[in-house]
Chain A
Amino acid sequence: MPDGRGATPLVVARDLTKIYVLGDTELHALDGVSLTVEQGEFLAIMGASGSGKSTLMNVLGCLDRPTSGSYTLDGLEVSRLSRGQLAEMRNHTIGFVFQSFNLLARTTAIENVELPLVYAGLPRRVRRERARQALERVGLGTRLEHRPSQLSGGQQQRVAIARAIVNEPKLMFADEPTGNLDTRTSVDVMALFQTLWRAGLTIVYVTHEPDVARYASRIILVRDGKIVSDTRQEPLIVNEAG
């Protein structure tokens, strides 16, 4: 177990609501969600499609702002931050991994990984070095100059993970990280997640597959915009191949 338990919680969300107005009807995508995530947790958010799990992750990931409620990330109240300030949080505190990888096409792996550092304002030489190190961490040290189209799905997701961790965030969010991958590759990616987790990274990921949720140390189940269960478990440990 990584250290960090008992320190200031990384995520403290209180009564988060997110209401979408569609014509005459209001859709409560989040309906009073309260959640605390300690540093060093490996959290899986489960739920059916439309349950509000993605909305929750978007709000927690500073991509979206809640309609009401308070959200403290790493000790900072972020629910009322401006777009620019949210961008800064995403850049420094958070890393993102998406279901569809979301790499820039016709851009090499290392350039993709450098992207957060470009917006962090780091000089090119430092960017290169740190991007190279991040790619080595995910096992792609030999594919720096490959373009996404020259990489397999699993490799593309590793590039995306390298991009998520390159600016040394405290928290990594992943939205269905294995959704576009076959079973074998999914296990590889989850093994990489566990390696990063054991190295001290707090990870929150969304999935609808119970198999994939087994790797987490804690599972919350979201239904109709509410958290209906919150269980801690002994994670199924997988080791990276090779």
Chain B
Amino acid sequence: MHIGNVIPIAVTALMRNKTRSFLTTLGVIIGVASVISMVAVGEGAKARVSGVFAAMGTNMLIVLSGSTSMGGVSGGFGSLPTLTWEDLKAIRRQAPAVRWAAPAQATKATIMVEDQNWTTTITGTSPEFFDIRNWVIDKGSLFGDSDLESGAKVIVLGATVAEKLFGPGTDPVGKTVRIRAVPFLVVGLLERKGQSPMGTDYDDAAFIPVSTFQNQIQGGLQNYIAGIIAVSAISAEDTGRAQSEITLLLRDRHHLAATDDDDFNIRNLTEMANAQQQGTQALTALLAAIAVVSLVVGGIGIMNIMLVSVTERTREIGVRMAVGAKPWHVLAQFLAEAVTLSMIGGLIGVVLGSVVARVVATRLGWAYSPRWDMIVLSFGFSALVGVAFGLYPARKASRLDPIEALRYE
């Protein structure tokens, strides 16, 4: 017997009992489909999380000023201004792991045009802020350093704000808006960014030069930044280094003794993102592990049916042996049947799993990208399951005594 004969013989045998063959493969189908869809959904969730953090900013750290403590009541970070403009300059110049640093002072204010108004968060900042936040201009331009120096009354609008004030699809660049009766020239419209993980609309915001903010919107202590410093490290790997550099720098600048607590606080968004990523990854791994278990259970189903099949076809095995089938012929035949079952199951599972993953991705509005490595892997694994669980019944068949087998009723 040639090896090439094995598969046709197996397929013929399986086709004789279609319902049973299908039910047997069901376990493998479900197993493979779960692996494929679980991993795809996990991947989608991961991509979603990275997308969300990418929208927050690139390699971003946030430096907050210290907290007040009056009569035991702690005011929380940012309640006591400790960050100065000189601190900002020092961070920009003396922290090698920092690419950009920008101040951000924010307040709620109402923006008015002739017939509309909209209350939103106005942030005073510097041009680097848009690089840090990964924010691209859609129309017009950002304000520049000269606007910052001169305290120009210019404003860059988020997409939601522009839409509320001027209606959808209108180009606001060149128009004038008023904040607390001060006229601002709209110089730019930001590209839409979507929602934060908490559901906040990123695009419901407007930005003006920080100097203008201090002069026109909210005064206060001129030496201190009444807000945060947003920082971007030179790479994702360098966020930790940037954090320690800034810590050392600020402790030094604020003349803190070794025993003193920091009078500022640094939040590392990349680390938060990584933590979240790891959580998603762990969940994906868990789901995939469960799916693999179901695949193994499917394999046991195949073994079960193959054992029944060997018993049922004992006479057939006897006849085959009587006309010249060697033990390995019988082994090969039953092994081929098990592997054919599991591979057909694997194939259907791959298709089914991909469809499920696509449907889920579409429902949740995620991008669906098939993981070819997982498809190949789970298909290969299903074939392996066929070999592993088909071997025992096939061995049993091949070791039958021809006379016993022929006498079997």
Contact = CB atoms under 8 A, between A and B. Distances in A.
A135 B364 CA distance: 65
Contacts of B271: none
Interface in B4-38: 5, 9, 16
A121 interface: yes
Interface residues of A, number: 24
A119 B327 contact: no
Interface stretch (B70-78, B314-322, B343-351, B373-381): B314-322
A83 B323 CA distance: 13
| Chain B binding surface SS class | helix
Contacts, number: 61
Given A90-B324, A116-B324, A119-B324, A98 B5 contact: no
Contacts of B321: 63, 87, 90
A38 B403 CA distance: 26
A54 to B, nearest CB: 9
Contact of B403 (A58, A106, A115, A167): A58
Interface in B24-81: none
Contacts of B322: 63, 90, 96, 98, 102
B324 to A, nearest CB: 2
Nearest to B405: A63
A102 B315 contact: yes
Nearest to A101: B319
A230 interface: no
A116 B326 contact: no
A116 B321 CA distance: 9
Given A118-B1, A121-B1, A121-B2, A92 B324 contact: yes
Contacts of A118: 1, 5, 9
Interface size class of B (residues with CB under 8 A): 20 to 34
Nearest to B318: A102
B327 to A, nearest CB: 6
A119 B325 contact: yes
Contacts of B327: 83-84, 87
Residue picked from B1, B2, B326, B327, most chain A C-beta under 10 Å: B326
A104 B16 CA distance: 12
B402 interface: yes
A115 B315 CA distance: 15
B326 A87 contact: yes
A92 B325 CA distance: 11
A209 interface: no
Given A119-B329, A121-B1, A63 B324 contact: no
B406 interface: yes
A64 interface: yes
A207 interface: no
Nearest to A106: B16
Interface string A47-80: 0000000000010000110000000000000000
Contact of A119 (B316, B323, B402, B403): B323
Contacts of B85: none
A173 to B, nearest CB: 10
Contacts of B328: 84
Interface string B327-365: 111000000000000000000000000000000000000
27 contacts: A63-B322, A63-B406, A64-B402, A83-B327, A87-B324, A87-B325, A87-B326, A88-B326, A90-B322, A90-B324, A91-B324, A92-B324, A96-B322, A102-B318, A102-B319, A102-B322, A102-B406, A106-B16, A115-B319, A116-B323, A116-B324, A118-B5, A118-B9, A119-B325, A119-B326, A120-B324, A167-B324
Interface of B: 1-2, 5, 9, 16, 315-316, 318-329, 402-403, 406
Given A64-B403, A102-B322, A119-B323, 10 more contacts: A63-B406, A87-B324, A88-B326, A96-B322, A104-B319, A116-B324, A119-B1, A119-B326, A119-B329, A121-B1
